[in-house]
Amino acid sequence: MNNNLLEVRGLTKSFGALLASDDIDLEVREGETHAIIGPNGAGKTTLISQLAGNLLPDRGRVRFAGEDITALSAPARSHRGFARSFQITSIYRDFTALENVMLAVQAHAGSSFRFWGSARAERALQEPARRVLEEVGLGARTGLPGGNLAHGEQRQLEVAMALATRPRLMLLDEPVAGMGAEETQRMVGLISTLKGGKTIILVEHDMDAVFSLADRVSVLVYGRIVATGTPEEIRTNAEVRRAYLGDEVAA
């Protein structure tokens, strides 16, 4: 067949009169980092939500590893190998950073219909969770409640929870949004270490991050994909420049 891990065909979603996804076709190859860029309100998060199973499309199909998963729920997709980080930080604020990640590990480590033993004490959950926290740079903050972490750290925790499910496909929705320069660099570094090993769909406004990480870029404008190509092709694409990149690239 082909080496597409994800194939999206004719994906359409409207909110009332607003067409947030307009007949989207998208192919993501196994192992590639595929960036999706576009102006605010273009429908990037809406697309990610439909891929992750948080939102049902009105029309269209999604195939993953050859299987039609259009009707699968978010938890079911998680078990197929999807993981998502949210643009608006979505963590367990009352649980510690470690517990946050342990829950993600737990969801993929056997049955959770266990009513007796202490989950916190399970080494088999703790160890992988600590490793992932170490990996994203939160190794020193494991005992803090998620709500008490700084903004950048919460973004790291987002990614840690996605990583902890050992996904095949990561959907990262603006992972460096609102981060300082140093934190951004660290996150970009982290994503570049994941590159190749995992397939990544990356929504990002930070063009430096996009052009340094992405193998291919798709441009979304008003719910439509107007171009897909290598970063170089996108940079020089006239339509893209007009619709979106314009000033930033010219500058």
Among 56, 71, 114, 180, binds other proteins (CB under 8 A): 114
Residue 40 within binding range of ligand ATP, rule CB under 6 A? yes
Q: Does the protein bind Mg ion through residue 87 (CB under 5 A)?
A: yes
- Identify whether the C-beta of residue 220 lies closer than 8 Å to the C-beta of residue 13: no
Is 79 a residue that touches other proteins (CB under 8 A)? Answer: yes
Q: Cβ of 25: how many Cβ atoms within 10 Å?
A: 14
Examine residue 56 and tell whether it contacts ligand ATP (CB under 6 A). Answer: no
Q: Which of 4, 33, 45, 96 binds ligand ATP (CB under 6 A)?
A: 45
Residue with Cβ nearer ligand ATP (27 or 204): 204
The tally of CA atoms less than 13 A away on the side-chain side of residue 52 is 19
Maximal CA-CA distance, the chain: 62
Site stretch for other proteins (CB under 8 A), options 97-105, 126-134, 204-212, 218-226: 97-105
* Helix, strand, coil percentages, rounded to 5, for the chain: 40, 25, 35
Q: Are 184 and 209 in contact (CB under 8 A)?
A: yes
Give yes or no for a contact between 226 and 42, defined as CB atoms under 8 angstroms apart.
no
18 contributes a contact to other proteins by CB under 8 A: no
Quote the least distance from Cβ 118 to other proteins, whole Å. 5
Q: Does residue number 13 form part of the binding site for ligand ATP (CB under 6 A)? A: no
41 binds ligand ATP (CB under 6 A): yes
Are the beta carbons of 34 and 28 closer than 8 angstroms?
yes
Q: What is the CA radius of gyration of the chain?
A: 18
- Which residues, numbered 163-222, are part of the site for other proteins (CB under 8 A)? 164-165
Q: Which residues of 105-123 are buried (b: 16+ CB within 10 A; e: fewer)?
A: bbeebeeeeeeeeeeeebe
Give me the amino acid identity at 8: V
Decide: is 20 part of the binding site for ligand ATP (CB under 6 A). Answer: yes
- State the nearest-atom distance from the C-beta of 110 to other proteins, in Å: 9
Tell the residue number behind the tokens 């004719």, with chain if given. Answer: 10
Task: Give the residue, chosen from 90, 228, 235, 241, that forms a contact with other proteins under the rule CB under 8 A.
Answer: 90
**Count of residues for the chain?**
251
Please report, as ranges, the residues that interact with other proteins according to CB under 8 A.
Answer: 52-54, 73-76, 78-79, 83-84, 86, 90-95, 99, 102-104, 106-108, 111-120, 122, 161, 164-165
**Which residues of the chain form contacts with Mg ion (CB under 5 A)?**
44-45, 87
